[in-house]
Amino acid sequence: MIKENLQHIQQTLSKGVTLVAVSKTKPIADLLTAYDAGQRIFGENKIQEMVDKYEALPKDIQWHMIGHLQSNKVKYMAHFVSLIHGVDKFKTLVEINKQAKKHDRVIDCLLQAKIAKEDSKFGLSFEEIASILTAPEFMELKNIKIVGFMGMATFTEDQQQLNEEFGSLKNFFDTQKQKSNSDNCQLSILSMGMSGDYALAIKNGSNMIRVGSSIFGNRNYSV
């Protein structure tokens, strides 16, 4: 089914929307099936699990870290991670910068915005993002680049609420895109939308969706 699911999603995606196949908790064999069907971007939410899969799988895969980050584990993925979605602290950026520097590379990051009304979701307010992007300390981080924002909407069927949450981040993204243009901030990616809400996210301007269960099936436990 994985191959059919992938093809189905790919066919409905408009040009310019990137699909991240969220493979957390899934076995290597499932990732290989998706790989053989042409998928090259995978998202994981635990650093150790991503490292294990990186080591086991072909090296032309781009690995996206989509989970909440623990600073002390950034070092394990700094040599290969291609995009980090969930940065929600300046301190984490400093750590990513430090580890990237050791490998003489620049790591692309998204700042995670809190758009959901629920309390449980991580993320920065729009004000906090704006102040990070204009801070002199931020300009000094030469080994990271902020390439966009990530947001997770409330877990709800309420289309109007989802539209509001996605729409608010799209507006903020467009505003910041005009303003922030430095060596380490060039905004082009808006990562919004999961299995349940990606169509709506795309309507609201998302150009990167993170889809897990609609490709690989339900996970055994919720993470």
Ligand X SMILES: *Cc1c(COP(=O)(O)O)cnc(C)c1O
Q: What angle do CA 67, 69, 71 make, to 5 degrees?
A: 165
Comparison of 53 and 210: residue with beta carbon closer to ligand X: 210
Q: Is 61 within 8 Å of 55 (Cβ atoms)?
A: no
* DSSP 3-state of 96: helix
Site for ligand X, residues 112 to 131, rule: CB under 6 A: none
Site for ligand X, residues 135 to 154, rule: CB under 6 A: 152
Amino acid at 124: L
Angstrom distance (rounded) from CA 119 to CA 15: 34
Distances (CA, A) of 28 to 23, 49, 116: 9, 10, 32
Comparison of 45 and 143: residue with beta carbon closer to ligand X: 45
Which one of residues 81, 100, 132, 211 is an interface residue with ligand X (CB under 6 A)?
211
Comparison of 180 and 214: residue with beta carbon closer to ligand X: 214
Whole-number minimum distance, CB 214 to ligand X, in Å? 6
For residue 173, count CB atoms less than 10 angstroms from its CB and return exposed for 0-12, middle for 13-18, buried for 19 or more.
Answer: buried
195 touches ligand X (CB under 6 A): yes
Count, residues near ligand X per rule CB under 6 A: 14
22 touches ligand X (CB under 6 A): yes
Which one of residues 26, 64, 170, 210 is an interface residue with ligand X (CB under 6 A)?
210
Residues forming contacts to ligand X in the complex (CB under 6 A) are 22, 24, 45, 66-67, 152, 194-196, 210-214
